[in-house]
Amino acid sequence: MESVRAVATFPYIAPENLEAFKKLASEMLLVIHKQESILRYDLFFSADLTQCVALEEFTSPAGILEHVAANRKILDQLAELGGQVTGAIFPMSQEGEALEVIRSEWRAPMHIHFAGK
């Protein structure tokens, strides 16, 4: 199984940026719904609406790269409104070219799967 999960956090959305952030995120979701490599993409706001967390699941690590490439412009705009994205990657396997790209070019911690259902 090559699937991979990821968590991405926009750490601070100023109140005056919230509506613009929501609008851009909604636009991005229209693209995401067309991407077959994305199994789940759920957005959550903190109770005070100042942070947004995306819980993501992809068919493979290449899906993460596809998502970022397809949504680069909107992701950059979301980062301007919500702060530099922080996150973590949770691949089911530790092998593959896409994972090597992510390891070498991204600052996100990568976790090693131990066990699960």
What pLDDT does 95 receive?
86
DSSP state at residue 105: H
pLDDT at 2: 85
Mean pLDDT of the chain: 95
Q: Is 30 exposed, middle or buried (0-12, 13-18, 19+ CB in 10 A)?
A: exposed
Output DSSP code: residue 110. Answer: B
Please give the CATH number for the structural domain made up of 4-105.
3.30.70.100
Inter-residue contact 67 to 35 (CB < 8 Å): yes
pLDDT digits (tens, 9 = 90+) for 56-88: 999 999 999 999 999 999 999 999 999 999 999
Low-confidence ranges of the chain (pLDDT < 50): none
Per-domain residue ranges for the chain? 4-105
pLDDT at residue number 1: 55
Torsions phi, psi for 98 (to 5 deg): -60, -40
